[in-house]
Amino acid sequence: MKPYGDCIYCGGEVRERSERVDYRFHGQLFILENVPTGVCNQCGEKYFTAEIAKQMEDAVRCIEAPVSTIAVPVIRIPGHDTVCAGQDSA
C-alpha cells in the first residue's frame, strides 16, 4: 500500500524519507526534525499523511521545550537594479 501515491505535480514516485520540515503555526515558524515525509524523486515536492500532519500540529501546539532555537534570516529578493556586492569574509 502506497501511503502517498504519485506526485500530483509531475507524476513522479513519492518515497518516504525522514526530513527536516518548515512548519508555520499561528504565524510562527517551527522546524520539525525527523518527520516521516513523502518526497517526490523528480521534483522534490513534499507530502504528509493525515496522521503525520496531525502529529506535527500537536507537536507545535503542545510545545514545552524546543530541542534548539535558531535565528532565521528574513530577506527580500533583490530588485532588477540591485547588484549583489557579496559578503565580506572577515
List interacting residues with Zn ion (CB under 5 A): 7, 9-10, 12, 40, 42-43, 45
DSSP string, 33-54: EEEEEEEETTT--EE--HHHHH
6 within 8 A of 12, measured Cβ to Cβ: yes
Terminal Cα-to-Cα distance of the chain (whole angstroms): 54
Q: Considering beta carbons, is residue 45 or 59 the nearer one to Zn ion? A: 45
Q: Which is nearer to Zn ion, 23 or 47 (CB)?
A: 47
Min dist. Cβ of residue 15 to Zn ion (A): 11
Q: Which is nearer to Zn ion, 35 or 40 (CB)?
A: 40
